[in-house]
Amino acid sequence: MKRLNPDKLFVELRDGVALTEPIIGRKYTLTHSDITADLFLTIGMQYAFDKISDLRDEVLAEWVMDGYLYLYVYVYVDGQLDPASSAIREEIFRRELPLALEAIRYGDRYLFKSHPYLDNASIWVCFGSGNQENCQLEHWGYLREY
């Protein structure tokens, strides 16, 4: 898989998180630059809404404990564009999601090194849409795969 170029990933820790703590409530906001192909990962206790553009092409994720620990990932496939473009946006998200998951895993590598069991956590991805028929929740494997 290894599509990630670590030199193109920039990580910001916000108030409330350290390199290895906390796990529950830890949130990820992954954005990118279409011009430079840089990836920007913000890790905090809140999503970095100030980093989200009108295109809504970010990847949001958070650790959740609901009987077991898992990473819940959310992408909004409708965006601010014509609703007919939802299928194209979903295809792009599906194609780029492995890179996004790799960026989250690599960008927060100190958390994973300190808590190696997190590599066995499931990843659940929600493809969100204003149209309920287009909303999908899918299992995308385990963090160790990324």
Q: Tell me if 65 is assigned to some domain.
A: yes
Amino acid at 123: I
Q: Provide the mean pLDDT of the chain.
A: 90
Please state whether the predicted TM-score (pTM) of the whole model is above 0.85.
Answer: yes
Any idea what DSSP says for residue 81?
A: S
Q: How big is the CA angle at 58 (ends 54 and 61), to the nearest 5 degrees?
A: 140
The pLDDT value given to residue 82: 63
Residue range(s) defining the domain that contains residue 47? 6-145
Q: How far apart are the first and last CA of the chain?
A: 7
Total domains in the fold of the chain: 1
Structure tokens at 45: 């206790």
Confidence of residue 27 (pLDDT cuts 50, 70, 90): very high
Q: Tell me if 1 is assigned to some domain.
A: no
Q: Tell me if 16 is assigned to some domain.
A: yes
Q: Tell me if 36 is assigned to some domain.
A: yes
The pLDDT value given to residue 56: 77
What is the percentage of the chain residues whose pLDDT exceeds 90?
A: 68
Strand partners, 75: 127
Cα–chain center distance at 93: 11
